[in-house]
Amino acid sequence: MPAPDLDTLFDFENQLEENFRRVFVANEIKAFTRLNAPADFQRDTPRVEIKVKLGAAVGHRVALCPDGEERRDMFQFQIGIMLVTIPGNTEANNVIHSRYRARVRSLASVIAQRSWADTVNWPYHAISEPLADGSTEPITKTEDGFEYSTMIYSGVFAIRRDAWPNP
């Protein structure tokens, strides 16, 4: 499906964040990005917050775009997935965060492979290789009443061949 315009196609950070959010929501994990978070989203727990950081272009180039220009079509990226839960006062409640983290990690391990076939949640881009698990940092902040884990992944994504807008 062609993107409506080049600005939409090249809005990589927002497009990728929204793609990941839709996949998490489809798997019954509350997920927010900076564009879709309502004013009171901090009340929703457990949840994930998603942020994408664009990296360098990689070697592949489209030989010729529909507008006659040559452009790069593969890029590195990092995604930060912050998990937020409310810590419990019992051992059983405290297990909730680690199980939630495991669920998110399990889903992240297959998102790349699924992105190629999933043109509903990934209409313009697809992840080119399995995500590389970078690090996980769990933190409990009792002063604000939440338990956090930030999971960092890196990968490479590509613009789909049929996503280039018509000139």
Domain range for residue 14? 6-163
CA 3 to chain centroid: 19
- Over residues 109-149, the pLDDT tens digits come to 999 889 989 999 999 999 998 899 998 888 877 667 788 89
The number of domains in the chain is: 1
Does residue 106 belong to any structural domain of this protein? yes
CATH (domain of 26): 3.30.70.1700
Does residue 157 belong to any structural domain of this protein? yes
Does residue 1 belong to any structural domain of this protein? no
- Per DSSP, 8 falls in state H
Does residue 86 belong to any structural domain of this protein? yes
- Over residues 16-48, the pLDDT tens digits come to 999 999 999 999 999 999 998 888 888 888 999
Does residue 56 belong to any structural domain of this protein? yes
